[in-house]
A and B are shown apart, each in its own frame.
Chain A
Amino acid sequence: GQQVMQIPQYQHVQEGEDFTTYCNSSTTLSNIQWYKQRPGGHPVFLIQLVKSGEVKKQKRLTFQFGEAKKNSSLHITATQTTDVGTYFCTGNQFYFGTGTSLTVIP
């Protein structure tokens, strides 16, 4: 099935710094979804991107879908401690990969 590779696997940032995680697929995706999982919690749906080149914003979070629909990114501006968790992208509802684990240092 379609699987996406996500980088980096881990990221430590100082509170207030920006953070970006990237998803890359070898095949064209019909859509991509992003989820966030807090430590000890369960994945929570954040957003779905469908259109080529689509950009969506949720407060300090900016999601992009590449023009070729093979990659996507999540950018967080001015991280806060509430952003701590693992961020997953999936281009196929069955495969989540290892995600990017974000640690925010106060």
Chain B
Amino acid sequence: DQQVKQNSPSLSVQEGRISILNCDYTNSMFDYFLWYKKYPAEGPTFLISISSIKDKNEDGRFTVFLNKSAKHLSLHIVPSQPGDSAVYFCAASGGSNYKLTFGKGTLLTVNP
């Protein structure tokens, strides 16, 4: 039972354009969501997070949107840069359990 789903295994965008990465979740107890970036053979690097009391959080080129009613969140990267090419993981946590549940990841490729 996959509680965090990233249905797009890959995404390709042109440099300078917007990248939109999507994530859906099923567990109503999740109240904190995070996005991580991962290069091959490396550990994930934290990008941005959002609490369920918000619907948007912005940090530079990265913005995360949360739609609680749809149990959906998305990561927007604008403008996209070739260095953004990596696997992006969506993760969620909730309740008194601080453990993170990860999606399968989306491979983003930004073409010059």
Chain B binds chain A: no
